[in-house]
């Protein structure tokens, strides 16, 4: 399929706008949560489901929806998904009860799962020139990173003037614009070798991914001692093992598991997982640092993190020319090395650190992240034929979802555990208050407000200092992981060509050995 140049770049604009909308929506709820709780009064379990159900639905259905797009057409699936996303956003904005809100957020996740792999697979299909494809994927990665940083800013700005539902209602006109323009501009593409969607693989993949993500999120919030964590983890792992075994026996698998035997493909997936693992955990820590340690408003905190999004966007845009000069392995290793250096700089942040220092560390880390994601996403897409682009996109995005959940679970647990274990409170603090203070920094500040003035000041200062010390330990752990991954990526991607040619299907519809597969 040859697409005229104006339509090709128009497809990139629409794909980027759709991804920007999804990226903003992933982070904007965190800003709206305090007002939402105040007005709707959900119970604690309801609030957790309001926050998490979007991610569960999104992660669980990415693989299935990527394959559906390959079968019915990526344009068709994107337009259906965007229509559903706009409708679900309106339902979410005007939800009258917590139960309604949970259901609407679940529908948002389902719609998001149809959109995410469609955007990247359409780029893979219209940009047939390898160099143009690398540039286009870099732009897409840049916009995605920028969206994550814009979420808190957009949310904070809207919440200054409107009710909590406004952060979702703003999605509706953008969704309408994408559907109207996309129906004219976007070309249709699908896998011409249509096969039936395996109805056993679908539930196995959904149960496996959702159960593992649920176990990780629950462990991060409640610890690993609960029986629910282990039951969910066991159910998820068993489902994923059965799913993997089934894929090796199907003529039309949801995922061609042979791809993971190729060093370039598995190395790119691994780099994405660990990079997201560290990035989201650091984002969680610094959101608390800005608001609870420095006392900044949500809007100011969102603006404070914006240079990170801009840095990642710049890194993604610069990745393509760097690949031409240095090669894929060196650019990914450089990106991970820069991210590790930025985390080392983060590790020196204390209660007196100026914002200029924070911006420097943020830009160093985020430019590295931009380099990494642009090159690894392009390598993943180039590892499969265009006909399977939706499935490959879904693999990449599912890995990132699981990496984010794992990062918050593991590094979030390191942060919370270090805070609880190292906090030393004055003897005058009552036992029940001490338990609440040790639970989290937010709980400490709220509980301290009810104590006598001098004791409250001491507790507040101690809790903030302990949190900062724990944050330093957490980001240094992330720095070590990123540095080790930089070395591993240099080996995993060694020999992968700077320009990756098209991978074709053989007579049985299987990917032929190409320059990526050979390595």
pLDDT digits (tens, 9 = 90+) for 223-233: 677 777 889 88
Summarize the confidence of residues 324-331 as an average pLDDT.
85
Given a cut of 60, whether residue 258 has pLDDT beyond it is yes
- Tell me, what's the pLDDT at 342? 92
3-state SS, residue 196: coil
328-346 vs 355-382: helix axis angle to the nearest 10?
150
Instruction: Give the list of residues 6+ apart from residue 329 with CB closer than 8 angstroms, or none.
Output: 489, 490, 491, 492, 493, 494, 495, 496
Structure tokens at 419: 């805070």
Q: How big, in percent rounded to 5, are the helix, strand and coil portions of the chain? A: 80, 0, 20
Given a cut of 90, whether residue 417 has pLDDT beyond it is no
- Tell me, what's the pLDDT at 44? 66
CA distances from 125 to 135, 138, 444, 511 (A): 14, 15, 52, 16
3-state SS, residue 505: strand
Strands (E), 178-300: none
- Tell me, what's the pLDDT at 389? 67
Of all residues in the chain, what percent carry a pLDDT higher than 70?
89
- Tell me, what's the pLDDT at 481? 86
- Tell me, what's the pLDDT at 507? 41
335 C-beta neighbours (distance < 10 Å), count:
29
Q: Is the distance from CB of 158 to CB of 50 less than 8 angstroms?
A: no
User: Between these two residues, 433 and 365, which has the higher pLDDT value?
Assistant: 365
Local confidence band at 420 (pLDDT 50, 70, 90 cut-offs): confident
User: How far is the C-alpha of 78 from the C-alpha of 432, rounded, in Å?
Assistant: 52
Which residues are 505's β-sheet partners? 511
- Tell me, what's the pLDDT at 91? 92
Instruction: Give the list of residues 6+ apart from residue 378 with CB closer than 8 angstroms, or none.
Output: 133, 134, 137, 138, 500
- Tell me, what's the pLDDT at 502? 54
Summarize the confidence of residues 130-134 as an average pLDDT.
79
Read off the pTM: 0.77
pLDDT digits (tens, 9 = 90+) for 278-324: 777 777 777 778 878 888 877 787 788 888 888 888 888 888 888 88
Helices (H) and strands (E) in the chain, counts: 18, 0
Summarize the confidence of residues 51-80 as an average pLDDT.
82
> If we measure between CA atoms, which residue out of 31, 150, 56 comes closest to residue 405?
56
Instruction: Give the list of residues 6+ apart from residue 97 with CB closer than 8 angstroms, or none.
Output: 40
Largest separation between any pair of C-alpha atoms in the chain: 78
User: How far is the C-alpha of 14 from the C-alpha of 139, rounded, in Å?
Assistant: 12
Summarize the confidence of residues 455-459 as an average pLDDT.
85
User: How far is the C-alpha of 217 from the C-alpha of 514, rounded, in Å?
Assistant: 38
Local confidence band at 194 (pLDDT 50, 70, 90 cut-offs): low
> If we measure between CA atoms, which residue out of 42, 149, 29, 154 comes closest to residue 93?
29
Buried b (16+ CB within 10 A) or exposed e, 128-165: eebebbbbbbbbbbbbbbbbbbbbbbbbbbbbeeeebb
Which residues are 511's β-sheet partners? 505
């Amino acid at each position: 399929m040859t697409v005229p140049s104006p339509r090709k770049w128009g497809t990139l604009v629409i794909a980027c706008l759709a991804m920007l909308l999804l990226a903003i929506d992933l982070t904007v709820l965190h800003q709206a949560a305090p007002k939402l709780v105040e007005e709707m009064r959900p119970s604690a379990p309801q609030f957790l489901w309001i926050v998490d159900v979007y991610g569960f639905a999104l992660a669980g259905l990415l693989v299935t929806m990527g394959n559906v797009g390959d079968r019915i057409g990526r344009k068709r699936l994107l337009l259906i998904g965007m229509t559903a996303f706009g409708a679900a956003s309106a339902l979410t904005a005007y939800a009258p009860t917590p139960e309604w809100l949970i259901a609407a957020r679940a529908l948002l996740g389902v719609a998001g799962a149809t959109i995410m792999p469609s955007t990247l697979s359409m780029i893979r299909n219209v940009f047939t020139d390898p160099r143009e494809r690398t540039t286009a994927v870099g732009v897409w990665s840049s916009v995605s990173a920028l969206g994550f940083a814009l979420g808190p800013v957009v949310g904070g700005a809207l919440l200054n003037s409107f009710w909590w539902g406004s952060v979702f209602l703003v999605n509706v006109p953008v969704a309408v614009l994408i559907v109207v323009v996309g129906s004219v501009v976007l070309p249709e593409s699908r896998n011409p070798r249509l096969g039936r969607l395996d109805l056993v693989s679908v539930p196995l993949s959904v149960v496996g991914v959702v159960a593992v993500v649920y176990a990780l999120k629950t462990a991060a919030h409640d610890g690993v001692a609960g029986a629910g964590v282990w039951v969910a983890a066991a159910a998820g792992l068993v489902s994923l093992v059965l799913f993997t075994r089934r894929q090796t026996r199907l003529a039309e698998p949801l995922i061609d598991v042979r791809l993971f035997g190729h060093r370039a493909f598995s190395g790119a997936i691994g780099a994405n997982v660990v990079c997201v693992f560290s990035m989201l955990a650091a984002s969680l820590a610094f959101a608390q640092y800005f608001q609870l340690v420095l006392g900044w408003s949500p809007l100011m905190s969102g603006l404070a993190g914006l240079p990170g999004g801009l840095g990642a966007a710049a890194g993604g845009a610069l990745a393509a020319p760097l690949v031409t000069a240095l090669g894929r392995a060196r650019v990914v290793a450089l990106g991970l090395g820069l991210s590790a250096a930025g985390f080392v700089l983060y590790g020196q942040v204390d209660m007196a650190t100026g914002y200029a220092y924070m911006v420097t560390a943020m830009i160093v880390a985020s430019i590295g992240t931009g380099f990494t994601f642009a090159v690894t996403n392009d390598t993943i897409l180039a590892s499969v034929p265009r006909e399977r682009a939706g499935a490959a996109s879904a693999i990449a995005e599912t890995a990132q979802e699981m990496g984010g959940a794992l990062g918050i679970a593991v590094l979030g647990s390191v942060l919370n555990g270090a805070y609880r274990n190292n906090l030393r409170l004055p003897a005058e603090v009552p036992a029940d208050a001490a338990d609440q203070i040790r639970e989290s920094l937010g709980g400490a500040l709220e509980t301290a407000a009810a104590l006598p003035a001098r004791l409250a000041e001491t507790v507040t200062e101690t809790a903030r200092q302990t949190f900062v010390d724990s944050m330093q330990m957490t980001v240094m752990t992330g720095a070590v992981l990123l540095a080790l991954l930089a070395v591993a990526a240099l080996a995993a991607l060694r020999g992968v060509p700077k320009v990756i040619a098209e991978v074709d299907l053989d007579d049985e519809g299987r990917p032929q050995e190409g320059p990526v597969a050979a390595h």
